[in-house]
Structure 1
Amino acid sequence: MIRTILSLLGIFLLWFGTVPIILAQETSILITQEQLEWGEKIANKAFEATQKGDFNQAETYWTQLIERFPKNPAVWSNRGSTRVSQNQLDKAISDFNKAVELAPNESASYLNRGTVLERQGKYQEAIINYNRVLEITPNDAMAYNNRGNAQGALGNWEQALKDYQTAVNIDPDFTLAKANVALVLYQLRNTEEALNQMKNIIRKYPMFPDTRAALTAILWELGKQGEAESNWVATVGMDSRYQDLDWVTNVRRWPPRMITALDKFLDLK
């Protein structure tokens, strides 16, 4: 029985700076029912391995699918995602390049590739990829948020703020983009508005550690030690990584003024 292979769905999650990526692609390759069932079985195994954190095994499954379905851009992009998780960034870029070659008008691989280029410190190249995403899908909130990340890394804070705010306008429930708006407002020395927005985020999302950590630093700087301590206890109870200034600087990539405020708090602690 001949039928067209439908999209092989892959999900890859990165925490901050690099955020959730969902890829669904369609190809016109005709395959048999047996081949389709085999492909779906292997894809499901790849998803299961990813969920368990066994990215090496997931990569093996995606490689099997690439060997069987080399013209399907989804399998290339998903293998690229598993390689990102193993910090094989050049190999991941190669896979995303192939996915883009096979499906130049699909936005997900550009988004994936931009995220990796950011991790490599290639911010201008990342922006080019995010711009391409927005040409294809103009209302992609993640692309705006990620472009804001890259603009911030280049010190273009006004442009970063515009991108983050656009992401929030598109998706009002995009908590990370809201947090980024508040962080950049503080970077631009609009402390009162930054503080108000952070408090609003905490009211709606009390279990969001990023904003609680930032709020801690600002409150401490304003001399509100009691409130700062309370927020800090909640922060480290949810995510201890905020005690590591290197992680906040190089992985989460807070703006420099916000990092300085947190550093002062941690020094006094």
Structure 2
Amino acid sequence: MIRWILTLFSALLIFCVAEPVMAQAQTPDLTKAQIQQVNDLRQKAFTATDLGNFIAAEDYWTQLIELLPESPVGWSNRGNTRVSQYKLAEAIADYNKSIELAPEATDPYLNRGAAYEGQQRWEDAIADYKRVLEIDPKDAMAYNNLGNAQAGQGKWEEALANYQKAAELVPSFAFARANYALTLYQTGQREDAIRQMRNIIRKYPQFPDVRAAITAALWTEGKKGEAESNWVAAIGLDKRYQDLDWVKNIRRWPPAMVESLEKFLTLN
């Protein structure tokens, strides 16, 4: 299960929203030829997704749905490809069908919640993440995504608690730790935020989100040399952090963090 690579909006569900989780499939009683056809289509769908060809992946999942209309997997995975094309309403319809077929599976709720976030339907997203936690109280991704939706509402303290819970459940969940650090910064705990960022970079030196964030934080603190060094690393890994609109509206950094980055970019 691909749980820790976030792909929402062709990019992320990086760090903020949850990745659409790519489900695996079970095949019912089929002929050998039909099983081969299903396996071939599924492999093509995953390969197209890995290559970022979401239009082709959507077509492959549509063909699989035609072959296996009662399988929740095809519906959920087609929803993922539609989210990656920002076809949110269509994706939500697919997740609805997947949930109808498998109401106790957690992945479609996580993915639908991420799509709701894309529509800024925060309460709907929160309801889905809480449903996941009813099914699996130790689902770290649900806690992280719950924090994202609460951050969308400006409920920073609640978001902070859920990011912390996600990181406690899975200490290697770097995205949750990053969200926690950025939210500390938003709530005025800037020294602690920078300390958390340094710890993350020490363990994950190729993490562009935190490299960019600590750039902004250090620049605001007057530590210009260290800030610029981290910036070189950040944009070497991911140039999107030069785009404030992307940082604000897709990555969805907290406002205080965006403001600090804007100061750095303006003066540079």
- In structure 2, what is the Cα distance between the partners aligned to 1:119 and 1:137? 24
User: Corresponding residue for 1:6?
Assistant: none
- In structure 2, what is the Cα distance between the partners aligned to 1:22 and 1:82? 10
> Is the CA contact (8 Å cut-off) linking 1:123 and 1:154 kept in structure 2?
yes
User: Corresponding residue for 1:148?
Assistant: 147
Report the residue type matching 1:117 in the other structure: Y
- In structure 1, what is the Cα distance between the partners aligned to 2:120 and 2:85? 17
Identity among equivalent pairs (%): 54
Comparing 146-155 with 37-46, greater Cα deviation is found at 37-46
User: Corresponding residue for 1:162?
Assistant: 161
Is 1:241 matched with 2:240?
yes
User: Corresponding residue for 1:22?
Assistant: 22
> Is the CA contact (8 Å cut-off) linking 2:75 and 2:94 kept in structure 1?
yes
> Is the CA contact (8 Å cut-off) linking 1:10 and 1:24 kept in structure 2?
no
> Is the CA contact (8 Å cut-off) linking 1:10 and 1:78 kept in structure 2?
no
Deviation string 1:95-136 (CA, Å, 9 cap, x unpaired) is: 000000000010100001000000111111000000111111
Is 1:119 matched with 2:128?
no
> Is the CA contact (8 Å cut-off) linking 2:22 and 2:77 kept in structure 1?
no
1:182/1:200 CA distance change after superposition, 3 Å:
same
User: Corresponding residue for 2:48?
Assistant: 49
**Matching of residues 145-224 of structure 1 within 5 Å:** 145-224=144-223
> Is the CA contact (8 Å cut-off) linking 1:185 and 1:194 kept in structure 2?
yes
Report the residue type matching 2:138 in the other structure: N
- In structure 2, what is the Cα distance between the partners aligned to 1:210 and 1:171? 19
Give the drift of 1:10. Answer: 8.1
In the alignment of these two chains, the number of paired residues is 260
Report the residue type matching 2:247 in the other structure: V
Compare CA radii of gyration and give the structure with the larger one.
1
Secondary structure at the residue paired with 2:30? strand
> Is the CA contact (8 Å cut-off) linking 2:72 and 2:102 kept in structure 1?
yes
Report the residue type matching 2:73 in the other structure: A
Report the residue type matching 1:22 in the other structure: M
- In structure 2, what is the Cα distance between the partners aligned to 1:129 and 1:240? 32
> Is the CA contact (8 Å cut-off) linking 2:79 and 2:92 kept in structure 1?
yes
Secondary structure at the residue paired with 1:30? coil
User: Corresponding residue for 1:257?
Assistant: 256
Report the residue type matching 2:116 in the other structure: L
Report the residue type matching 1:124 in the other structure: E
Give the drift of 1:25. Answer: 5.0
Unaligned runs of 5+ in 1: 1-8
> Is the CA contact (8 Å cut-off) linking 2:240 and 2:246 kept in structure 1?
yes
Give the drift of 1:26. Answer: 4.5
1:42/1:26 CA distance change after superposition, 3 Å:
closer
- In structure 2, what is the Cα distance between the partners aligned to 1:44 and 1:115? 25
Secondary structure at the residue paired with 1:24? coil
Comparing 230-239 with 34-43, greater Cα deviation is found at 34-43
Name whichever structure is richer in strand by fraction. Answer: 1
Deviation string 1:134-180 (CA, Å, 9 cap, x unpaired) is: 11111111111111000011011111001000000010000111111
Is 1:63 matched with 2:75?
no
Unaligned runs of 5+ in 2: none
1:204/1:13 CA distance change after superposition, 3 Å:
closer
Report the residue type matching 2:22 in the other structure: I
User: Corresponding residue for 1:35?
Assistant: 34
- In structure 1, what is the Cα distance between the partners aligned to 2:203 and 2:72? 39
Deviation string 1:10-34 (CA, Å, 9 cap, x unpaired) is: 888512223342323557x433333
Give the drift of 1:62. Answer: 0.8
1:118/1:102 CA distance change after superposition, 3 Å:
same
Give the drift of 1:51. Answer: 1.7
